[in-house]
Structure 1
Amino acid sequence: MLKLDNVTKVYRTGAFGGGSTTAVGGVSFEVGPGEVVSLIGESGSGKSTLGRMILGLTPVTSGSITWNGTAVRPAKSYYREVQGVFQDPFSTFNPVFKADRVFRMIKEVYFPEVPPAEWAERVRASLADVRLNPAQILGKFPHQLSGGQLQRLLIARALLLDIKLLVADEITSMLDASTRIDVLNLLAELKGRGLGVLYITHDLSLGTYLAERTIVLRRGTVAEMGPTETVFTGPKHPYTRELLAAVPRLREPWQEAEPIESCLYHDKAGTGGLLEVEPGHYVACARLAGCAG
């Protein structure tokens, strides 16, 4: 379905564009139908840049992103199958319009031929899928709704298009704990219907909740990726170990991760600096990633 092959993004810097900064460097992975892939990393690791490139909002400098074998290009046909939901739902809505405007815009662009009564039923069904009551939502302005309600509205908008892939970029970071679980359970339900999800987050605990596979990103490159349980129970890369060691534990003092004395993968890593240490579990050369060791 979605495939990234050696994707790189370089930004020009300086007053006259004479410098450059590599935000993403040589990233490759896939997301299949009905699969949740968690993309984890600290702020500035390139997670959101990858999400924007997948959605066609930021051009790729080199490498390729393909959807069902075809190069990704911003087009109506592509957005009928691939949509994104972002961190701050309040910034997505125009505060001077009521919430139902997002559905009117979808109809005008994608379904102008659908009769009003049929469209109203589609909207009602879509809202029911995300556990929202149309009577309590559609006539209100964005500021009258909670962050969780707005996030679910955006997911309902995507469902109206019968999408195949959702890029969920930090969609729970601004929500309270109970609402986060509601949104994650909703994603789990949609996953069961065959929806693929790229779940972008810096929160390790949330990243493990749904994902079959996990990709750990550091400084724009893949440090480690593989089955979620394998990566979290047997991390190999020092950066992954540092992330796990930084997770607070009740009544336990914080302890810094023990650095490795040398990179076990430096001379063995293959293309892209990744070594398959066990089936489906890949680890980057720590030296190439800039880690101590």
Structure 2
Amino acid sequence: AREEYRDGGARLPGAVRALLAADRPDLLAEVHRRDLLERAGSRAAKLVDGLVAREARADALAERARAELDTEQTLAAYQREQREEVTERVEEAEQLLASLSDAELSGLRGLEQWADAEARQGLAADGSPGSGAGVPGAPGGDLPPSAAGREAVAHAREETRAQPAAGGGRAIAAAALGLLTPGAAPFLTGARAEPTAGPDLVVRAWARAGLRVPLTAGEQWAALERVDTGRLRPGDIVVLAPDAERSVLYAGDGEVFDRPFPGAPSRPTALDPERVLGAVRPDPAAPGV
């Protein structure tokens, strides 16, 4: 109290007295400079933190990319092994067929026709697609197609008619593999495996009818509306078992556009009910015509 009385009242803090001192004119500039430095330091710290976070995200993305590349390379190696194995088996079949007589080759072709007929009988026996014997409106028969479905079937039929007939030793050898060891050989054109031959025709036919459908059988099975396989209509997409690797276009009367054996061109073929996983419809809301 004595001190404050001597100084003439309340004692000011040292910082305030320093600001008011007449002999320190540069003090305000120094305070301003320090404030700027503190702000700049804070911004720099935030920038460093952001760079560290971005670097961490970049490292994570790079790790994912490496993992996906490893998966892709593994798949490519597996496909090469499968292709080499199939090519080797086809060459073995070619050598075997070269030793057959004309009568034996004719019998082999007849075997394919017999397998087709057996599939048709199975369809009629279990009431699967086309069991109405092709009669419109018959119980268990086909539903009338939509306008787009009918157009898709017409385009597929036109495309299959324009394909050259299968011929040559490789096609016959592929036929032997497909008939004698079902499921052992993928679909071949020359020496190139084409496991997506069915979906490609499906996609092209529906695209020409004015409707885009998913590109693969698995995507079609997942995205499109599923329908009862006993009440199909021409233009529906039949997805094949066991795991939706392929799909075919339903032509009506128990037939689909498919390759009767590996190496053959697509054509209307009797649908084997044991191969069917299910069916989907690209235009479920469209009425039949």
TM interval, short-chain normalised: under 0.3
Looking at secondary structure, tell me which structure has more helix per residue: 2
Normalising by structure 1, report the TM-score: 0.22
Looking at secondary structure, tell me which structure has more strand per residue: 1
Normalising by structure 2, report the TM-score: 0.22
